[in-house]
Amino acid sequence: MEEMQRRSKKRIMMKQCNESTTQTQLMDLPLEILLAILLRLPTRSLFSLLCVSKTLRSLVDCPSFAHKHSEYIATSNYEDLDPPHVMVLTNSQLITLQALNPLSPINEFAFDISNSIGNGFNLEFEFVSYGLLLFKEKEANHELLLVNPLRGEVLKLPPPLPHCGYELYAMGYDVMTSTHKIVRLFGPRGHPDHMVVQIYVLGTSSSSSWRQISSVPPLPCCLSSKASVSAYGNMHWLVYVLSSDLELRILSFDFKREEFEWIPHTNLPDFDKRIDLHLINFRGRLSIVDVSAISSPQKSDHDQIEI
């Protein structure tokens, strides 16, 4: 009798153990815990999860998760988990991803755009944002190609109209709709006060065409993709306002409100006298860096780089 009770108790314990094991499988975890785990995975591991299940694929492919993952990388000590890489673009079609750390398990990765679009395209590079690169075809229909080199994907965007002498593209993230948007500024070359602005929304039913918005840069200024930086999901430019004193200011485009606005910058000593200022994304924060000391040491009164 005692032996039967012992065996019965053992069977109950084994059943409870099996049930407990089943309940602690990855997909049975609460969503907030599952997302917290996924946020801490390297980018390459996230791509591997796309083939595990439809649920994981939908989570990893969600634009809002991609945005949070990018923020986590920028604001945490992520180097040990996901070694930093540099993306190199050669001959306008070959993209090479190389590890800055020689001990990284992924030393080099290459993606040839011509394998997806053919060799007849004459491409012009526009920007890189969120790991995506935008190219514009120089001739014919001026097609736009959005390239994801890590996943080997090329998306052809609707060609914007009309074609003008001056064009500028930037990309950002709308936290309200969980969508990525591309903004296009265009107008006659040499006339910054006659700009027109269009928006293209990725991955929605309305992504078949460009949509014109009313907001334009508030004052005539010269914008350049080389002087832009993405932070907080928005795009920012450090620009000289075309006025009599060429005032240096920060212009931002809010992708949530779809509006341009001036944002205040810190009151640096002799701000307007500093000769080599740049905007950077410093661990997820919009920052100004002064490299006057190394670019023109004879004109600088200090010997350090200031952020």
Residue 130 has pLDDT above 60, yes or no: yes
Please indicate, yes or no, if residue 40 is contained in any of the structural domains. Answer: yes
The span from the CA of 130 to the CA of 197, in Å, is 21
For 87, residues 6+ apart whose C-beta sits below 8 A from its C-beta are 95, 96, 97, 128, 149
Please indicate, yes or no, if residue 27 is contained in any of the structural domains. Answer: yes
Closest CA to 200 of 219, 178, 180: 180
The span from the CA of 307 to the CA of 304, in Å, is 10
Q: 177: burial class by Cβ within 10 Å (0-12, 13-18, 19+)?
A: middle
The total number of residues shown for the chain amounts to 307
pLDDT band for 278, please (50, 70, 90 cuts): confident
- Does pTM top 0.85 for this prediction? no
Residue 7 has pLDDT above 80, yes or no: no
The span from the CA of 149 to the CA of 192, in Å, is 34
Closest CA to 45 of 106, 134, 112, 120: 106
Q: Residue 135 in contact with residue 91, Cβ under 8 Å? A: no
Closest CA to 169 of 206, 204, 132, 118: 132
For 65, the domain range is: 17-75
pLDDT at 82: 57
Please indicate, yes or no, if residue 25 is contained in any of the structural domains. Answer: yes
Comparison of pLDDT for 32 and 9, the residue scoring more: 32
Strand 132-137 and strand 123-129: the pairing is antiparallel
Please indicate, yes or no, if residue 113 is contained in any of the structural domains. Answer: no
Closest CA to 50 of 38, 64, 33: 38
pLDDT band for 301, please (50, 70, 90 cuts): low
pLDDT at 259: 94
Q: Residue 288 in contact with residue 307, Cβ under 8 Å? A: yes
| pLDDT single digits (tens) 153-200 | 888 898 887 777 788 899 988 878 888 899 999 887 666 667 899 999
The span from the CA of 77 to the CA of 84, in Å, is 11
pLDDT at 121: 67
Strand 153-157 and strand 211-213: the pairing is unpaired
The span from the CA of 171 to the CA of 202, in Å, is 10
Distances (CA, A) of 126 to 11, 91, 110, 133, 172: 66, 14, 19, 7, 14
Token reading at 25 = 């499988």
Please indicate, yes or no, if residue 262 is contained in any of the structural domains. Answer: no
Residue 303 has pLDDT above 80, yes or no: no
The span from the CA of 95 to the CA of 39, in Å, is 26
Strand partners, 110: 96
Please indicate, yes or no, if residue 61 is contained in any of the structural domains. Answer: yes
Strand 234-240 and strand 248-254: the pairing is antiparallel
Comparison of pLDDT for 248 and 279, the residue scoring more: 279
Number of domains observed in the structure of the chain:
1
| pLDDT single digits (tens) 43-65 | 767 777 777 788 888 888 777 78
Please indicate, yes or no, if residue 51 is contained in any of the structural domains. Answer: yes
Q: Write down the mean pLDDT value for the chain.
A: 76
Please indicate, yes or no, if residue 179 is contained in any of the structural domains. Answer: no
